[in-house]
Amino acid sequence: MSLVQVLFYIMGFIAVASAIFVAATKSLVRSIFMFFITLFALAGLYVLALADFVAITQVVIYVGGILVLILFAFMLSGKETLNYISQQRKQFMNISKLPALLLAGLFLVVLLNMIFKVDAGNLAWIKRSIENKNVITPNAAMTENIGVNLMTSYLLPFEAISILLLVALVGAAHLSRKEPQS
Amino acid sequence: MISLTDFLVVSAVLFCIGLYMIVSKHNAIQILIGIELMLNAAILNLAAFGKYDKLNNGGQMFALFAIVLAAATTAVALAIILNVYKKYKTIDPGKIDSLKD
């Protein structure tokens, strides 16, 4: 077992365990802070998938942007939310959680069954890509290639997503403005 | 090296945890976190398969697009949650049961 594999299992375990903690804990603030750990572990997994630029973007946008946004929205929404959240039901295993647990578990069984049946390492296009040496190697610097591709073959999606981001941010600012006093 | 199946298993588990959060939680912010978990599971798949596309970088590119889209979604969703909280004084989606008028 190589070092990369050991690192992968550690990262995967941290990601899954902290995600389970996020789902299981009663305290909302604790679950948000634990979600940090999940996102960092996922960034580590992206690095092990040789997608280092995606990992950096994950850390910058998710951890630096989205989570801080969630925290701000949570802290700004007032004391009542905090009280409301702290007075949730106490018992560990609620019977109303059972259908959700069943749904998620059965879906997991279906997904795992499909994953082991499809045997992704032996797909036709992946074999072809290995034959053509079209595989990213650990010593390749892919960021330059990503930049060139972003400005050539993916220019239309890039522009579309920039317009969409602008629209979404203007919409968010419009939604959260103060109502004019009338 | 790490096989593709390992990545797929990790992302399937994360996806199901997100699904469980979305179905079972009584709090809009936690549901949002569940959605983010599912998105991250999908992005992990994109990054893992993107390893086999060195020339075009299809997987990594769309992983980047998905991250940006997630940021836009979260901003709008949090603004909506704040508005809903102002109007109903709760963010439990089960208790929000009336339209504007």
> Given pLDDT bands bounded at 50, 70 and 90, which one contains residue A106?
very high
What residues 30-49 of chain B have any CB closer than 8 A to a CB of chain A?
30, 32-34, 36-37, 40, 43-44, 47-49
Q: What is the pLDDT of residue A27?
A: 80
Q: Which CATH number covers residue B55?
A: 1.10.287.3510
| Statement to judge: residues A124 and A98 lie in one domain | no
Sign of CA pseudo-dihedral A144, A150, A151, A153: positive
- Please report, for residues A161, A163, A176, B82, the alpha-carbon distance to residue A77 in angstroms, rounded to integers and kept in the order given: 30, 29, 12, 7
Q: Is A121 on the interface with B (CB under 8 A)?
A: yes
| The predicted structure's pLDDT at residue A110 | 96
How confident is the model over A156-164, as a mean pLDDT?
94
pLDDT at residue B40 is higher than 60? yes
- Examine residue A158 and state whether it is found in any structural domain, yes or no: yes
Q: Where is average pLDDT lowest: A91-100, A166-175, B12-21? A: A91-100
Q: Tell me, yes or no, whether B13 lies in a domain.
A: yes
Residue A126 lies in a domain: yes
Task: Output the average pLDDT for chain A.
Answer: 86
- Structural domain count of chain B: 1
- Number of structural domains, chain A? 2
**Terminal-residue alpha carbon distance, chain A:** 70
Q: What is the per-residue pLDDT for A9?
A: 94
* ipTM field: 0.90
Are B42 and A158 contacting, i.e. CB atoms less than 8 angstroms apart? no
The answer to whether B84 touches B91, Cβ cutoff 8 Å, is yes
**Does residue B96 sit at the A interface (CB-CB below 8 Å)?**
no
The residue segments making up the domain with residue B79 are: 4-88
Residue A94 has pLDDT above 80, yes or no: no
Answer whether residue A13 shows pLDDT above 90. Answer: yes
